[in-house]
Amino acid sequence: MTDHKPTILFVCNSNKGKSQMAAALLEAEAPGKFTVESAGTKAAVGEAVNQQAATSLAEIGADMLAGTLTQLTEEAMRAADRVVVVGGAKLPEVDGVEVERWETGEPSERGIEGEERMNLIRDEIRERVQKLAQSY
């Protein structure tokens, strides 16, 4: 009997920030427990991950610098055991695929910018990732 590692697919718009953060946080929270993927609905393929987000994660021991920006596909959605949209990205409907949405606050709407903004986003995503990891 083989142990099935659930595949978790995190999605955001560009795949440069929130979905990469969630993926790296889950890898750090539960190493080896999941197959973790991330993608973007309008992925900035060929670009680097958001440096501010990467710095924020590094402060708590998580690493997203090796993340590769990937365009979301129907195949990736079907292959995942769980699809989680981090933020407001609009996803295509795919028959048989349930999508979970994590609405995230936007600190810049409250006048919070820079490092403080990114740390607030990181902490919100981290809390949800911890709950996800504990649910398996």
Q: Supply angle C-alpha 73, 56, 26, rounded to 5.
A: 50
Give the model confidence (pLDDT) of 101-127 as tens digits: 999 988 989 999 999 999 999 999 999
For residue 54, which of 65, 70, 45 has the smallest C-alpha distance? 65
For the beta carbon of residue 60, count every other beta carbon within 10 angstroms. Answer: 12
What pLDDT was estimated at residue 1? 46
Q: What is the pTM of this model?
A: 0.95
Complete domains list, the chain, with CATH: 7-134 (3.40.50.2300)
Give the model confidence (pLDDT) of 44-80 as tens digits: 899 999 999 999 999 999 999 999 999 999 999 999 9
